[in-house]
Structure 1
């Protein structure tokens, strides 16, 4: 009886969570993290889940970075603070740890549209 119950538990788990593989998204696809990408269009057809990751690729000599804004007002106003971190490697990976909204900007080109707001589902 215990084996049957365990088997049903495993089947139920796969029914609720059909795929537990995380997806890696290259932000901006081939154009990368740049001031000349329409990120509203880029994000429009994507659904993000806990464990997925965002890869921000950009040339380090072009004065870009990735700032994780602490809230919508910081993101919307292109402020630098408060933030949850600033990355500058040119190949920055951010794994989405929990459900909620995440705000990413470039400290230098946010005002020309280099920012994305990511909604993470469970």
Structure 2
């Protein structure tokens, strides 16, 4: 009986550790529902966001409009829109980027005119701190072979009301872990 209690406590501690680790990532959808386009207000979108190692960025854009994403090597290339020597180009319309190390990463439009008009995104990536509260984990939107491609739609009239940020939704796994912990606590 004593061994069963020890095993139960071990399983509960393990589940908490997994929940904290899983919840440490955020998925940032650049531009929200509007995606990556010349209409994107980068400063508003960046306001209050913190990017950490392990987070992911999702760019959605319409390649038919000559938009693409270019990751540049330096602040100088970023500021001058020098697209001649990119680290990587993203052209598929749905680009996932993992933030795998500290430092600032520089993303711009692959369209020189859009870049010169300000369609560029600096992403300062910070390390996790032991004092960081866990962030909610987000599932990226489903993009599979049967999903419709991203197509920006014109908006007429007043802007739609603000929807909750994509970085505020909890992952279903967190719910399952919570229920599992509750069951462990009750001794089920």
Q: TM-score, normalised by structure 1?
A: 0.82
Task: Summarize deviations over 1:68-113 as a string: whole Å, max 9, x none.
Answer: 0100011100110322110100000110010000000002111111
Mind listing any 5+ residue stretches in structure 1 that lack a counterpart?
A: 1-6
Match of 2:115 in 1: 110
- d(CA) in 2 for partners of 1:102, 1:114: 15
Q: Structure 2: any 5+ residue segments left out of the alignment? A: 1-9, 128-188
1: distance between equivalents of 2:115 and 2:29? Answer: 18
Pairs aligned (count): 108
Summarize the alignment of residues 47-86 of structure 1 with structure 2, pairs less than 5 Å apart: 47-86=50-89
Partner of 2:37: 34
- Name 1:3's counterpart in structure 2: none
Structure 1 or 2: larger strand share? Answer: 1
Superposition RMSD in Å: 1.7
Q: Once the two structures are superposed, what CA deviation does each residue of 1:26-79 show, in whole Å capped at 9, x if it has no partner? A: 100011000111101211210000011110001120101110010001110011
Instruction: State TM-score, norm by structure 2.
Output: 0.54
Q: Name the larger-Rg structure.
A: 2
Q: Which residue of the other structure, out of 17, 26, 33, is the alignment partner of 1:23? A: 26
